[in-house]
Structure 1
């Protein structure tokens, strides 16, 4: 949406831990193989270990909960295509030129840390104006680990017409 808002006027864009190139380039060959064989469990493992830099212990913990792991597998199906597009697509000088408002969300656990915190700050630097909201106790998987909290925040931001936070 941040790119789309360079072409289309938008009242508001809400982005959760957006990234831009270079991001996860070294994982592309392995993700391509996993996608070609529809090995979504392997795709999740690659994304978590090689892109998100999640520890082996944390991956094992996520894998131990079949509900979470199955959600991650389902969500990983476009991982290769998305990461490839991020790293090969055009890189504008600015994001969301035509957006009236941009709200960025980051998990507290990723703030000022690689890879997501660093990518987040790179995106933020390409925005003329944005508000940043931090999700306490969360990382990049708030949509899995705290979907209700993330939903409340997004609904609140979408309904909030007051001036932006900085």
Structure 2
């Protein structure tokens, strides 16, 4: 066990966990933040996506020991009232069906728009291809992101 001080959603937390504990389990089981989902456990589906210093990462395979002094943002931290532009676009274009993958999709889109405020359709497809959606809402995801690109 080791003690870590981590910054999550602009708040510092002290956690005492194993060095190799995935960030996902620190967030969900230790800190009680249930918005980030477990999908495959192998960083293949993107359901567990959170942002580390505004870069999308797969928290299911990212050890707590690798966080360092980075700033972690989860779905709970992008807005207080569900009114982040990406969340509003998701609602406007009725993106979710079952909704399970959507927190990861949203976090990936937030990171994309932070690094590239005006992505093309091809850049959106490229950036989002690692986030899987069993319901197949890819076209709505792309439309939602395009609707706020450059806004």
TM class, shorter-length: 0.3 to 0.5
Question: TM (normalized to structure 2)?
Answer: 0.35
Q: Which has the higher strand share?
A: 2
TM-score, structure 1 as length reference: 0.33
| Higher relative contact order (CA closer than 8 Å, sequence separation 6+) | 1
**By percentage of residues, which structure has more helix?**
1
For the pair shown, which has the larger CA radius of gyration, 1 or 2? 1
